[in-house]
Structure formats: C-alpha cells, structure tokens
A and B are shown apart, each in its own frame.
Chain A
Amino acid sequence: GAVVSQHPSRVICKSGTSVKIECRSLDFQATTMFWYRQFPKKSLMLMATSNEGSKATYEQGVEKDKFLINHASLTLSTLTVTSAHPEDSSFYICSAQGTGPGDTQYFGPGTRLTVL
C-alpha cells in the first residue's frame, strides 16, 4: 500500500509554545489529507480535513485558531498546535487519500505530543 510519513514521531514541549507536525504522502498525490486525534484506548476523532491549496474544514468543536492546518502541496500537510497546553497532549495521526470514492485512506504512524 501507499506510504504516509509523519514527523516528528514524538515531541515534548513546554506549555505556551507551538508545535508543528508534518504529514507527507511519499508515493502518491494526496488530494485530501485528514488530521485525527486519539485519546488512550479510544477511537479516532477527526479534527479537520484539508484539500491542497484551500482552507481546511474543521469538525465541530475544534478550534481552528489553535490547530492550524496547511496543505501546501499534494504531498505535504502540516498541523501546528499553537500555544499548546497540557490538555493538548495526545496522539495525533494524519491520513491521506486520492479523489475516488473507492480510494483507500492511508495513515501516518502518528505523533505523540506531550505538553509539560
């Protein structure tokens, strides 16, 4: 299957700082990328959907000014957690897919964010 990478895999930061997470589709062009958050032993919570070159669509309850998403190219999307606080500590996972309804959504390996 296709490969999606995420960087960094793990980050620890101080409260009040901003953290950027990169998501790359390595061997296909991803028209759409998704960002999820996963709490321990829980299912995935979709945060936002981004299409290359356009503004992200955020799910209800997700603060767009806090979780900045940029989808600058067909292979790269970034999530920036601004002014991070301990409650933002979580496992963040990105995914990417093509345009067809049958296209598979491929997931990155995830980023563990810990805010002290």
Chain B
Amino acid sequence: AQSVAQPEDQVNVAEGNPLTVKCTYSVSGNPYLFWYVQYPNRGLQFLLKYITGDNLVKGSYGFEAEFNKSQTSFHLKKPSALVSDSALYFCAVRDMNTGFQKLVFGTGTRLLVSP
C-alpha cells in the first residue's frame, strides 16, 4: 500500500535559518508526491508537487522539495524561514491503486519559527 511517513511531530527553527521538514514514502510504481500547508482553522493550501522530471521542485512562498529516489524521500525545504511559515505541514502521495487516485497523507509536522 502507498504510504508516507513524517518522522517529526514538530520542527523548531529560528527566523532567518534554513528549514527542513522530512517526508519519506513507500509506493509501488512511480510516486506522485505533494506538500500542503495548513494554518489554524483553515483548509490545506497546496505548496508543490513532484510528478516527473527535475528532482528539485520549486513551489509557493519560497518553498522547495527534493525528490530522492534512492532514499525514497521528499523533504520540504526553505532557505530562510519566516515567523509566518509557522503552520502544520502535510506530505502526501497519490494512491494510484484506486480508481479515484486519492491522496494518502502523513501525520503532519508542526513547524514553529521563532523570532
């Protein structure tokens, strides 16, 4: 079965420092990977996705993610964190085994950026 793992419940980083939010995946076939961010009492906002092509994917708000096939990872990164980046981040993989291609989500990682 398709799955993703987010090993960290929370990541703390100081404003201005680089941030990394980790995600590893397990899929049969080609992976279709996504990152979303959720602010309190809001739905999820799409950040970026990997479908094929360049392993470094650039997304919204200065975020990027690196697809690493050998390590089965898709870590989210940003060179310089902002306090406003503090939120809940979800990694997801598309389940291609179902006709509806639903997303399978990780458990989420809370990012806290301190001033």
Residue positions of A touching B, CB distance < 8 A: 1, 4, 6, 32, 34, 42-44, 46, 49, 51, 57, 91, 93, 95, 97, 101-102, 104-110, 112
Contacts and interface: CB of A to CB of B under 8 A. Distances in A.
A71 to B, nearest CB: 12
29 contacts: A1-B46, A4-B43, A34-B100, A34-B102, A34-B103, A42-B107, A42-B108, A43-B90, A43-B105, A43-B107, A44-B44, A44-B105, A49-B100, A91-B41, A93-B43, A93-B44, A95-B43, A95-B44, A97-B101, A101-B96, A101-B101, A102-B49, A102-B51, A102-B52, A104-B34, A106-B46, A107-B45, A109-B43, A110-B43
The 10 closest A-B pairs by CB, nearest first: A107-B43, A102-B51, A107-B44, A49-B100, A109-B43, A110-B43, A43-B107, A93-B43, A108-B43, A43-B108
Chain B interface main SS type: loop
Given A44-B44, A102-B49, A104-B34, 20 more contacts: A1-B46, A6-B43, A34-B103, A43-B108, A93-B43, A95-B43, A95-B44, A101-B94, A101-B101, A102-B32, A102-B51, A104-B46, A104-B49, A107-B43, A107-B44, A107-B45, A107-B46, A109-B43, A110-B42, A110-B43
A35 B49 CA distance: 21
Contacts of B42: 109-110
Contacts, number: 58
